[in-house]
Amino acid sequence: MSVTVRMAPSPTGFLHIGGVRTFLFNWLYARQHGGRNLLRIENTDTSREVAEATHQIQESLRWIGIEWDGDVTFQLDRMDDCRRVAEQLVAEGKAYEDEGAIRFRMPDEGVTAWDDVVRGHVEVPNETIEDLVLIRSDGRPTYNFASPMEDVWDGITHVIRGEDHISNTPKQIQIIRAIGADVPVYAHVPNIFGSDGKKLSKRHGATGVDEFQREGYLPETMLNFLALLGWAPDGETTLMRRDELIERFSLERVSPSPAQFDYAKLDWMNGVYLRELSPEEYAHRLVLWLGDEGYDWDAQLVTRAAPLVQEKIAKLSEFPGFAGFLFHDVEPDPADLDGGAPVIEAARGALATLEPFDAEHIEASLRGVVEGLGLKPRQGFQPIRVAITGSRVSPGLFESIELLGRETTLSRLAAAAAIA
């Protein structure tokens, strides 16, 4: 039997990171088994918000690299089919009319059970399940009717979804059995919590996929990090790219207990992937990201600056703050200049005529200046750094000076010397 799974977001807003993790598991499972991964929008109306959210969801999936097969389908389009099935169930005595709505007759004895791939055997007493509404009195099918029906029609073999659906499962199983279809395999994956153990929400930081993108996280980071939330191939491996994830993923190894989203570890991992990029690729991504965020900085200069920051920042969004001095004027805090006027002046004198004006020679020259004044390197270079970059923290000083160019360097040194 070939595998067919589905991602079923409701178009109520932007794609939440918890939902993406669930979709990721669907996709990994489908790819590993050479099966299909469908994208099914569980909408109940056709408003403009829905259209926008649907678009946004696809954009986010594309960005992160989770693919779907075939056309996107909409629950709303199958309303009529749902109604027909409900009427059939009424005719068979398995459902009944109730004040204009149609209710499903739940068995009131025994249990409904299934073997959940991540949780094992689960069973619920039927007496605790009420007769649920299939069709509202306005004619629209309810979620708990439409969703399992779509699973049947789409030939879904494995329903991989969030654990908040566990209590819906017995209801849906009963419906599927009532129409005489095969019940799919269920796998309920755990929730993702925020760093305080509570539900992931805005105050924890980014929660929408688009926000992670804007923060300067790489798609490969998100894929790797999310996969590890609730799943691990073994006790050792933490860094895995797309192909390895597909190869090693296993639904059976998904943990049943909820995980907390750890932004600190995410940052670490992003730094790893950022550093792994070739200098060319790194510069490319940086330029694209800056463009997306509305910076009109010179791409040539960004490209030349990229190698100076690649080892030093964990997110692309740190670039403007860290290397912005290359693109705009700076205002050093006199306190940070720390009375460094003498060394700043001396540096200005040395650099004024230095040839060639490159990092190697700049370093040699400045080391001479600092030594000449009897200063330790860290004492001597710091005022110069502040003068040049406007900050106590910066990329390598000598390379930065080379990129800035002689003219700007000299004027910044002069300005700083005046206020130090």
Partner RNA sequence: GCCCCCAUCGACUAGCGGCCCAGGUCGCGGCCCUUUCAAGGCCGUAGCGCGGGUUCGAAUCCCGCUGGGGGCACCA
Q: Which residues from 46-105 bind RNA, rule CB under 7 A?
A: 75, 98-101
- In the complex with RNA, the residue whose CB is nearer, 66 or 370, is 370
- In the complex with RNA, the residue whose CB is nearer, 154 or 399, is 399
- In the complex with RNA, the residue whose CB is nearer, 70 or 256, is 256
Task: Answer for the pair 267, 312: CB distance below 8 angstroms, yes or no.
Answer: no
354 binds RNA (CB under 7 A): no
| CB 48 to RNA: min, Å | 17
Judged by CB under 7 A, the stretch of 175-183, 326-334, 346-354, 379-387 that binds RNA is 379-387
Out of 104, 212, 297, 381, the residue judged to bind RNA by CB under 7 A: 381
From 182, 173, 192, select the one nearest 254 (Cα to Cα): 192
The catalytic site residues sit at 202
363 binds RNA (CB under 7 A): yes
Residues 225-254 that bind RNA (CB under 7 A): 228-232, 234-236, 238, 253
Q: Can you give 152-197 as a three-state secondary structure string?
A: HHCCCCEEEEEHHHHHHHHHHHHHHHHCCCCCCEEEEECCEECCCC
Judged by CB under 7 A, the stretch of 38-46, 53-61, 328-336, 339-347 that binds RNA is 38-46
- In the complex with RNA, the residue whose CB is nearer, 152 or 397, is 397
Total interface residues for RNA by CB under 7 A:
81
Backbone angles phi, psi at 196, to 5 degrees: -105, 10
Exposure letters 156-183 (e unless 16+ CB within 10 A, then b): bbbbbbebebbebbbbbbbbbebeeeeb
Out of 4, 26, 37, 43, the residue judged to bind RNA by CB under 7 A: 43
303 binds RNA (CB under 7 A): no
Cα distance between residue 62 and residue 42, in whole Å: 19
- In the complex with RNA, the residue whose CB is nearer, 307 or 342, is 307
| CB 306 to RNA: min, Å | 14
Out of 2, 255, 300, 411, the residue judged to bind RNA by CB under 7 A: 255
Inter-helix orientation angle 299-309/279-292, to 10°: 120
Residues 130-169 that bind RNA (CB under 7 A): 130, 132-133, 136-138, 140, 142-144, 163-168
For residue 302, give the H/E element and its range.
helix 299-309
| CB 242 to RNA: min, Å | 18
- In the complex with RNA, the residue whose CB is nearer, 123 or 329, is 123
383 binds RNA (CB under 7 A): no
Residues in the chain: 420
Tally of CA atoms within 13 A in the half-sphere of 135 that contains its CB: 24
Out of 32, 42, 96, 342, the residue judged to bind RNA by CB under 7 A: 42
From 273, 256, 145, select the one nearest 220 (Cα to Cα): 273
Cα distance between residue 200 and residue 217, in whole Å: 18
278 binds RNA (CB under 7 A): no
| CB 2 to RNA: min, Å | 26
> Residue 68: left if φ>0, alpha if ψ -120 to 50, beta else—which one?
beta
SS3 125: strand
| CB 223 to RNA: min, Å | 14
Residues 201-220 that bind RNA (CB under 7 A): none
Judged by CB under 7 A, the stretch of 61-69, 205-213, 240-248, 312-320 that binds RNA is 312-320
Burial (CB count within 10 angstroms: exposed 0-12, middle 13-18, buried 19+), residue 359:
middle
| CB 177 to RNA: min, Å | 18
Q: In what order do the strands lie in the sheet with 36-41?
A: 4-7, 36-41, 73-74
